Structure 1
Amino acid sequence: MAKQQKEIHKVKMTDGKRAIIQQLFQEYDIESASDIQDALKDLLGGTIKEMMETEMDSHLGYEKSQRSDNKNSRNGYKTKNLNSSYGSFQIEVPQDRESSFEPQVVKKRHKDISDIYQKIIAMYAKGMTTRQISETINDIYGFEASEGFISDVTDKILPKIEEWQNRPLESVYPIVFIDAIHFSVRQDSIVSKLAAYVVVGINDSGRKEVLTLEIGENESSKYWLGILNSLKNRGVQDILILCSDGLTGLKEAIATAFPETEHQRCIVHMVRNTLKYVANKDMKAFAQDLRAIYTAPDEKTAFQRLEDAEKKWNLHYPAAMRRWRENWDVITPIFKFSTIVRTAFYTTNTIESLNASYRRLNRQRSVFPNPQALLKALYLATFEATKKWTMPIRNWGKIRGELTIMFPDRLPY
């Protein structure tokens, strides 16, 4: 197969453009790319001033050189500093005696034409600190943006976060995942670990959707009941299957808020937690025995394989298998379903791409200055990651069909 060649966009050089370039070289002493940027900055300032002069002509109803009976008239200029993608520069803004002129090309109190707000938000979303963003803007654009200014810019998304956190949700989510990532956050001059809990639902169309994002300190049944009740208050009436790690108090909260929901422990987390107790030399064999348990065709076979694993390994690793027996009631829901359905919910890998975005924040920033800063960064990272969530999960048609049979009258027709 012939390789497809990417089309390269070529700038069409016209006679008019050549004339402009020649004039540019005649007017400015250009010897480098930096000189070109300085020339363009100067031209940008002049162009903006000329556009404002035209706006003033329209405002007054006559041109600068004309006479008029209009009581209002020109009243000199006011110097204004502007930030642009070429750096900082000054412009002269025409004034009128009645102070009624409202320029549109650069409005009053508007001092930035570089789209810097969007750039700041984008850098913050990647986990950069306010100091790093300030230094980057200064290095690239040559003008100062204080850390306080950057914080003010990112604070503008707080109302959007609140709106997003309170938006209405669907009435039924066939599958919901809850997972946690821990971050270091400074509070009252003390750095402590806070957990960011992300709740992701698979909606009736099979698409992933972040339902909520919470920053919490102490896990408890009361804490989780509050989160689950907030989902109910936003319209969620039923959840068929909820998959999570061993979050303290969650099991009791689910039984209260959604008593008919199947609570499934994330098998991958179970395996990881078990293998922490195992020496490297036994890791492969131990992992194979664990796999034999959670891939068993039914619960009876799985329990027999659990007992076999305990007999084989308890002498060397007495604590390793204890959690499997203690959590057997929230491990066993998978055995009711076919392999296709199991792969949809027995692990929180469905949201691993989202967690990867959160972990990048951890690598970028060792400590967040406060919980609000963490919330802003998480929201922006979530928004970026979920842009790709446009298609249903794999085999959703078959999965939904089986769930309809297993949970009769609980999915919409």
Structure 2
Amino acid sequence: MLSVVTDGDSTQSGSPIDESVWEGARRLLAAALEAKVNQYIAELTADIDDHGRHLVVRNGHHKATTVVTAAGPVEVKAPRVNDRRVDDATGERERFSSRILAPWCRKSRRIYEVLPLLYLHGLPPGDFVPTLEQFPGGTASLSPATVTRLTKQWSEDHAAFRTRDLSDRDFVYVWADGVHPQVRLGQAHSCVLVLLGVLRLDGTKELIALAEGLRESTEPWADLLRDCRRHGVRDPELSIGDDVMGLWRALAEVFPAMRPQRCWVHRSRNVTNCLPKAQPGVTKAMQESYNAESRTHAEKAIEASAKTYGAKFSKAVAKITEDWDQLLAFYDFPAEHWIHLRTTNPIESAFSTVKLRTKVIRGAEGLAAALAMVFERVGSGQARWRAITGAHLVLLVRAGARFENGILVERSEVAA
């Protein structure tokens, strides 16, 4: 990807790359810019003034600008466009702007992604230049002040995220979990409380809320949920979470209309912790329960495992039989959604890279900075999150359609 770094000349002394590489990169960029301008003008050839002259024409080139490419800094002259059209709404002149080489840009989005990555890996800002000077053009516009500005922007983005209006969104499914990203938070036993939801219209996943709190406590969860309620979040149809009782008490208080679904991964871990040693038979029995084709088959699998292992591992078996309904709630929703609803894996997957990148971080400047860094890493990957399978069925779930063993009940029955 190309990125504008600074205006004016640049030196290339000491670079091991042949001059022909820079020349090839320069020609490639220039050709791309020329093609974009030609396409823009060709699409507007029909726009003429009262004298029959074209309103959009070429107008030479801009001042030479240095661009960082994979081969190093390259000097390029971008073509200019004289656009005499006027926007009826604002009364201002129309302007041509290229995404390839925007006139205001000084660093590409990829540069902004590299700096947080280095910082979150524990590289001090003062070491950026010594580290990156090994790469052609790598030190252009890099300094400790750059990272300081970035972290300040992260905090501002996180503050805006926490106060945004959510009344225009409808989250049908919501996952809730406490994540430990290994950054310094406010208290020794603190974690990051996360809410992630599925939108009604397109089935995409979106981060709803992110805050610090004690994982086992009801009040931090309740505060977070109440804040979401104040900003417009309505009761979800189903909430998926682990076995923390504080979470479920808070969800029942703030979203009383929602149905609970306990995470099978967390429950399986709790069952395993009650066993004296690994028991493949118990693990297989649990898998048969949550992978069954219907609720009836799942209930039979749970009953069979209780009879087989109840005498030897009564404590472990009780962890499955005591929350029977909450473990099998997903069977009353579309079968296409089951793989998403059985566990809190959507949150685990979203935060897997965050945990890796914050594992060796040192010296986050307070709670706000730590949460801002976590928010930045999660937000940067949100566009790549997998949408829920069978997204068109989410709308039916919110509309009150009834599903039995994952199959939609006839419309007449739903109406009745």
- TM-score surpassing 0.5? yes
Q: What displacement does 1:313 show? A: 2.1
SS at match of 1:157: helix
| Distance change >3 Å, CA 325–CA 144, structure 1 → 2 | same
Paired-residue identity, %: 19
What is the rounded CA distance, in whole Å, between the counterparts of 2:227 and 2:337 in structure 1? 28
Residues 184 and 366 in structure 1, CA contact (< 8 A), matched pair in contact too: no
Amino acid at match of 1:394: T
Q: What displacement does 1:151 show? A: 3.6
Determine whether 1:203 maps to 2:216. Answer: no
SS at match of 2:193: strand
Residues 129 and 143 in structure 2, CA contact (< 8 A), matched pair in contact too: no
Match of 1:386 among 382, 387, 399: 382
Q: What displacement does 1:268 show? A: 2.1
What is the rounded CA distance, in whole Å, between the counterparts of 2:165 and 2:116 in structure 1? 27
Match of 1:294 among 290, 296, 310: 290
Q: Which residue of 1 aligns with 2:353?
A: 357
SS at match of 1:123: helix
Q: Which residue of 1 aligns with 2:414?
A: none
Q: Give runs of aligned pairs for residues 333-348 of structure 1, distance below 5 A.
A: 333-348=329-344
Q: TM-score with structure 1 length normalisation? A: 0.63
Q: Which residue of 2 aligns with 1:174?
A: 172
Gaps of 5+ in 2: 3-9, 23-66, 74-104, 134-138, 404-410, 412-416
| Distance change >3 Å, CA 121–CA 402, structure 1 → 2 | closer
Q: Which residue of 2 aligns with 1:332?
A: 328
Determine whether 1:406 maps to 2:402. Answer: yes
Determine whether 1:307 maps to 2:290. Answer: no
Match of 2:391 among 387, 396, 406: 396
What is the rounded CA distance, in whole Å, between the counterparts of 2:331 and 2:131 in structure 1? 58
Q: Give runs of aligned pairs for residues 207-356 of structure 1, distance below 5 A.
A: 207-278=204-275, 282-283=279-280, 285-296=281-292, 299=295, 301-356=297-352
Using the TM superposition, name which of 319-328 and 293-302 deviates more.
293-302
Residues 191 and 212 in structure 2, CA contact (< 8 A), matched pair in contact too: yes
Q: What displacement does 1:243 show? A: 0.6
What is the rounded CA distance, in whole Å, between the counterparts of 2:363 and 2:306 in structure 1? 42
What is the rounded CA distance, in whole Å, between the counterparts of 1:213 and 1:307 in structure 2? 39
Residues 182 and 195 in structure 1, CA contact (< 8 A), matched pair in contact too: yes
Q: What displacement does 1:140 show? A: 2.3
What is the rounded CA distance, in whole Å, between the counterparts of 2:303 and 2:150 in structure 1? 58
What is the rounded CA distance, in whole Å, between the counterparts of 2:397 and 2:185 in structure 1? 48
Q: Which residue of 2 aligns with 1:51?
A: none
Determine whether 1:33 maps to 2:15. Answer: yes
Residues 183 and 193 in structure 1, CA contact (< 8 A), matched pair in contact too: no
Residues 198 and 214 in structure 1, CA contact (< 8 A), matched pair in contact too: yes
Residues 175 and 239 in structure 1, CA contact (< 8 A), matched pair in contact too: yes
Residues 220 and 249 in structure 1, CA contact (< 8 A), matched pair in contact too: yes
What is the rounded CA distance, in whole Å, between the counterparts of 2:215 and 2:340 in structure 1? 29
Bigger Cα Rg: 1
What is the rounded CA distance, in whole Å, between the counterparts of 1:330 and 1:291 in structure 2? 16
Q: What displacement does 1:210 show? A: 0.6
Determine whether 1:134 maps to 2:130. Answer: no
Q: What displacement does 1:280 show? A: 6.0
Q: What displacement does 1:383 show? A: 1.7
Q: What displacement does 1:331 show? A: 1.4
Amino acid at match of 1:276: N
Q: What displacement does 1:241 show? A: 0.8
Amino acid at match of 1:382: V
What is the rounded CA distance, in whole Å, between the counterparts of 1:364 and 1:315 in structure 2? 45
Q: Which residue of 1 aligns with 2:160?
A: 163
Q: What displacement does 1:281 show? A: 5.3
Amino acid at match of 1:175: Y
Q: Give runs of aligned pairs for residues 115-130 of structure 1, distance below 5 A.
A: 115=107, 119=111, 122-125=114-117, 128=120
Residues 177 and 344 in structure 2, CA contact (< 8 A), matched pair in contact too: yes
What is the rounded CA distance, in whole Å, between the counterparts of 1:139 and 1:300 in structure 2? 60
SS at match of 1:242: strand
Q: What displacement does 1:200 show? A: 0.9
| Distance change >3 Å, CA 125–CA 161, structure 1 → 2 | farther
RMSD: 3.9
| Distance change >3 Å, CA 153–CA 388, structure 1 → 2 | closer
Amino acid at match of 2:389: R
Q: Which residue of 2 aligns with 1:70?
A: none
Q: What displacement does 1:276 show? A: 3.3
SS at match of 1:379: helix
Q: Which residue of 2 aligns with 1:102?
A: none
Determine whether 1:372 maps to 2:368. Answer: yes
Aligned length: 308
Q: Give runs of aligned pairs for residues 100-119 of structure 1, distance below 5 A.
A: 115=107, 119=111
Q: Give runs of aligned pairs for residues 35-50 of structure 1, distance below 5 A.
A: none
Q: What displacement does 1:274 show? A: 1.8
SS at match of 1:174: strand
| Distance change >3 Å, CA 310–CA 117, structure 1 → 2 | closer
Gaps of 5+ in 1: 1-8, 10-23, 41-83, 88-112, 409-413
| Distance change >3 Å, CA 164–CA 361, structure 1 → 2 | same
Amino acid at match of 1:294: Y
Deviations 1:137-177 (A, max 9, x none): 23324799876873454123312211112111235311111
What is the rounded CA distance, in whole Å, between the counterparts of 2:114 and 2:244 in structure 1? 32
| Distance change >3 Å, CA 317–CA 153, structure 1 → 2 | same
Determine whether 1:150 maps to 2:147. Answer: yes
What is the rounded CA distance, in whole Å, between the counterparts of 1:35 and 1:281 in structure 2? 57
Amino acid at match of 1:341: H
SS at match of 1:214: strand
Q: Which has the higher helix share?
A: 1
Amino acid at match of 2:130: N
| Distance change >3 Å, CA 367–CA 275, structure 1 → 2 | farther
